[in-house]
Structure 1
Amino acid sequence: MALDVGQRWVMSLSSLASFMISLDSLVVTTALGAIKRDLGASLEQLEWTVNAYNLTFAMLLLTGAALGDRWGRRRVLAAGLAVFTLASAACALAPDAATLIAARAAQGAGAAFVIPLALTLLSAAFPPERRGKAIGLFSGVTGLATFIGPFLGGAIAAGPSWEWIFWINVPIGLVTIVLVLLRIEENKGPDNRLDVVGLLLVTGGVLGLVLGLVRAPSTGWDDSEALFPMATGVLLLAAFAVWERRATVPMIPLRFFAIRAFTSANLASFALFATLFGMFFFLAQFFQWSQGVGPLEAGLRLLPATGPVMIVAPLAGMLADRIGERVFMVTGLILWAVTLAWLALIAEPALPYLSVLPLLIVGGCGVAMATPAAQKAVVAAVPPHEIGKASGVITTFRYLGGVFGVTVLGTIFATTGGYGSPQTFSDGFAAAMGGGAVIALAGAVAAFGLPGRRSISPPSAQPKAGAKTPVA
């Protein structure tokens, strides 16, 4: 795929920004032991070290996409990177667990202004017939970050100190900010008015929903601390849906969800990331708690899954341009479900690593097939001038899925096992992976709603130049 200079810069910088943001979603999982030791953190504080990032991330994703349309996507992307970089330094300097949690929340807020705009700028830089391969390359880099996060966290925790997990973001972030401002052209959405009421309703709704999900494992699903925020979140999201039907310039045109490909891809992506985050959260701990290895070795054991992501994702994206997204989304989720189900069947403290290795490779292939297919299906389902809004929606669904997966699989784990012994952890892990397999299969069913091969609309069918289609 020959790229012009502008496309190369957009591809490189959007992928680099996404890599750094995605890395931090799971990088702390193998360093939690070191953080507990150094900061005297409780188990609940360790959980919040992971969840605080995902909470603010999921809560503000749609806001980030909307502000990019209003104030300029390059400008808001750079601002998000600046917040993320400063918050990373605050994490590294945190003197106690409470400060670390607050800084992780600030990291997530900055990340929410980066990911949807990186995907928007990338999608806008390529014509529809070449977008799949571009998104495939982008997904490969993003997937690599997700898979190597636990390894890198374990390596740093076992080496210099866990603080360097965050210090490494500072120079990379500063360089990326400068290059984004110098090498990417500014562009805005087709209508620069901001739907303030919609923004407040959706932010509050997602906050309530995610906060309730995060609290449920420790308080119980029937406790008011979980039920009240979840119920409030659902009510606010319902009010948001009513408001968006009336809004002159809605944040999310509800007609998007009448498009079968858009809705199916978002539901399937939700299921994929729910099980992906849930699996890595527990598998990294399974290696340490049930099998007694250190954080570095636990990270190394997860590393083989990165190969398929880097190789298969670009190929899947390119082939999706020719034969459609459905076959890759369905097949990828089925492979992922088989991986989780097999882990559930064989999990035990004495499980040989060679029995896990092929599953990581097969599962990595499944994730690498499904991720770019979902992203391409969503952005291809809407007019080019509304790609920014569509990107915000699928990114929100992905990270809501991540919080949902860690929470639901965590509940299954807590009711069937625990941290009492290697065997009890293994029992809970097996049950959680079985639950993950069911969620992944549900995602595969949803993916059947995607169309087969999509014909590319001729130029005459695209919005006119006056619609301010983004350029990069």
Structure 2
Amino acid sequence: MSLADGRTADAPSPPQARPRLGVVFAVIGAGVAMANLDVFIVNVALPDVGRQFSGAPLASLSWVLNAYAVVFAALLVPAGNLADRVNPRIAYLSGIVLFTVSSLLCALAPGIWFLVGARVSQAVGAAMLIPSSLGLLLATAPPDKRLASVRGWTAISGVASALGPVLGGLLTDLSWHWVFLMNVPIGAAALLGGLRVLPRVPSRDLPRADVLGAAVLTCAITLIALGLVKGDDWGWTSVEFIGALVLGVLLLAWFTARSARHPSPVLPLPLFRFRGFSPSSFSNVLFAVAFAAMLLSTVLWCQDVWHWSAVRTGLALFPGTLLPPALAMSIGPVIHRFGSGVVAFTGCVVFGAGIAWWLTLLTPASGYAGGMLPGMLLTGIGVGLTLPTLISAGVSALPPQSFSTGSGVVTMARQAGTVLGISLLVATMGAAPAHRVDAFDRGCTMILGATAAAAIACFFVGGVGKAHRGAEAETVGAARSASSAGGAEGA
């Protein structure tokens, strides 16, 4: 019996061969590693960038970090929506192309603001490739290998984070341009491999994401950050400073009201009705403030106070960045026994102890082993206890159908906290290099305050994590929320 397309009823079409998991994992891993490496690498390179561009002040240099975090935070959910509506394969490959080309532009930047613009373009590419990468991996892996695949995918972020400072130091010692140029061959290889092996995942019929809402959120966070980093120049009672903060807050209020009405908002407000999600997200923001400020201040101390090379700075950071991914992979049983709130609070206390060590004992005359290393180990343990715990608590508080969206919101919150932390550090330290050590003391005091606020917020997370909806669901959800360029935290 013949059919319209010429096939016979007793001769069904052969099933499509599933792409080889190992090859797909390698292609996806290259993109995820590239996006995560760029966070720590850029931190280490920042002082060298400033020296090349006519001694650009810290307020201007901070935008090399902030521009990436702001745009990534605002576009993460819309980019995930676009990937589902169009095709995850197309979204991932487009993100690779944009990220790679933008990296080349970063390396060729003739000035600081050209570099900031190229970083914005990089963030768009990262926002496109990160959400789609996990969807492609899950579409390729057979059911019995999905959990292991997600764990491996998560581990890539942790390994890239740990290697970032050392690799960044090595490359910056040659030239900070190589920090970005190294992405070009990696991106080209991922693109060529992706065109051959990535699966073709069917698109989904979803409402269009709120692009205007994403733009409003970007403007709001940018204005608040701008007011903070320029406050010392403008004056803390100036019209410019107050105007930037007030306008930023008003835009945030408008964004929230718009999110309540839009069918596919950047910030899905109904998620905050679930017990545990709101306090976890809020704690994430506060802890991200402390973590981002700690990381930047450590780099600046090594290179501006001790006058260390980029390589030596990267090696100094390495012990602290190595601990979070190791703890994140083994913290599950502790969370189940004691509850997320207790574990996250403990992590904040340990992190704060590391900052207090530096504030008390770190001086220009102190050595690395007795001055910086103990604080680096304590903060590393604190990050490893706190971040994956809050991620897990937030995502596991949601029903399974909301894992993907909820993890995007958690990541967006953490990126917003990163921007706020960098901006607050710049505002706290001020612009007087003659009082550099005093400036670092002020910065450490601010970080301690943010850590204390995060610890208090962790009390409201409660026992989320004791009662679980399934280990695999939590692992997949936590992995999704650890997938940002801020995935560099090693969660």
- TM-score over 0.5 for the pair: yes
Q: Superposed, which structure 2 residues align to 1:430-441 within 5 Å?
A: 430-441=444-455
Q: Aligned partners of 1:207 and 1:229: how far apart in 2?
A: 10
Q: 1:239 to 1:133 in 2, by over 3 A?
A: farther
Computing the radius of gyration over CA atoms, which structure comes out larger, 1 or 2?
Answer: 2
Distance of 1:392 and 1:207 partners within structure 2: 19
Aligned equivalent of 2:398? 382
1:157 aligned residue: 172
Pick closer, same or farther for the CA change 1:212–1:320 going to 2, 3 Å.
Answer: same
SS at 1:315 equivalent: coil
Aligned-residue offset at 1:379: 3.5
- Counterparts of residues 88-103 of structure 1 (less than 5 Å): 88-103=103-118
1:199 corresponds to 2:211: yes
Determine the structure 1 residue equivalent to 2:459: 445
Describe how 1:241-260 pairs up with structure 2 within 5 A: 241-260=256-275
Distance, in Å, in 2 between the alignment partners of 1:129 and 1:50 is: 39
- Note the C-alpha offset of 1:106: 1.3
- d(CA) in 1 for partners of 2:199, 2:271: 28
Q: Give the Å deviation of 1:266.
A: 1.6
Change (3 A) 1:153 1:222: farther
Match of 2:46 in 1: 32
Q: Distance in 1 between matches of 2:240 and 2:20?
A: 49
Match of 2:376 in 1: 360
* Cα shift at 1:139: 4.6
Q: Which amino acid aligns with 2:188?
A: L
Quote the residue 1:173 is aligned against.
187
1:68-217 mapped onto 2 (5 Å cutoff): 68-118=83-133, 138-158=153-173, 160-187=174-201, 191-195=205-209, 198-217=210-229
Task: State the distance in 2 between where 1:377 and 1:126 align.
Answer: 26
**What is the CA distance between 1:353 and its match in structure 2?**
1.2
Partner of 1:394: 410
Amino acid at match of 1:342: W
User: Counterpart amino acid of 1:206?
Assistant: T
Alpha-carbon distance in 1 for matches of 2:163, 2:404 = 28
> Percent identical across equivalent pairs?
28
Structure 2: gaps of 5 or more residues: 1-17, 474-491
Q: CA deviation at 1:85?
A: 0.7
Alignment partner of 1:114: what SS? helix
Offset, 1:91: 1.0
Alignment match, 2:480: none
Cα displacement (A) at 1:16: 3.9
Counterpart contact for 2:139–2:201, Cα < 8 Å = no
User: Aligned partners of 1:342 and 1:326: how far apart in 2?
Assistant: 24
Name the counterpart of 1:51. Answer: 66
Of 411, 429, 434, which aligns to 1:420? 434
Q: How far apart, in 2, do the equivalents of 1:443 and 1:15 lie?
A: 34
Question: In the TM superposition, what whole-angstrom CA distance separates every residue of 1:289-326 from its partner, at most 9, and x where no partner exists?
Answer: 22232222122111112332342221225765787644
Which amino acid in 1 is paired with 2:421? G
Matching residue's letter, 2:315: L
In 1, Cα distance between equivalents of 2:26 and 2:123: 22
* Cα RMSD after superposing both structures: 3.5
The number of residue pairs the alignment matches comes to 451
- Structure 1's 457 and 98: CA in aligned 2 closer, same or farther, altered over 3 A? closer
How far 1:403 moved relative to its partner? 0.5
Call closer, same or farther: CA 1:191–1:47 in 2, change over 3 Å. same
Q: Which residue of 2 aligns with 1:330?
A: 345
Q: Report the Cα offset of residue 420 of structure 1.
A: 1.0
Provide Cα deviations, 1:41-95, integer angstroms capped at 9, x if missing partner: 5214423333322232223223212212322233212212211110000111222
**TM-score, with length taken from structure 2:** 0.79
1:67 to 78, 82, 90: 82
Matches within 5 A, 1:290-301: 290-301=305-316
On the 8 A contact 1:189/1:388 being kept in 2, the answer is no
C-alpha displacement of 1:349: 1.5
1:218 equivalent to 2:230? Answer yes
2:31 is matched with: 17
CA distance in 1, matches of 2:411, 2:67: 17
TM-score of the superposition, structure 1-length normalised?
0.82
Cα deviation for residue 222 of structure 1 reads: 4.6
TM-fit CA distance, 1:354: 1.3
Per-residue displacement from partner, 1:101-155 (whole Å, max 9, x unpaired)? 2212211222222334445666888999998876665454324434543433332
- Kindly report which structure 2 residues correspond to 1:209-288, keeping only aligned pairs within 5 A, or say none: 209-219=221-231, 220=235, 222-288=237-303
CA contact (8 A) 1:194 1:249 kept: yes
The verdict on how the C-alpha distance between 1:375 and 1:31 changes in structure 2, with shifts beyond 3 A counting, is: same
- Residues 132 and 372, structure 1, Cα contact 8 Å, conserved in 2: no
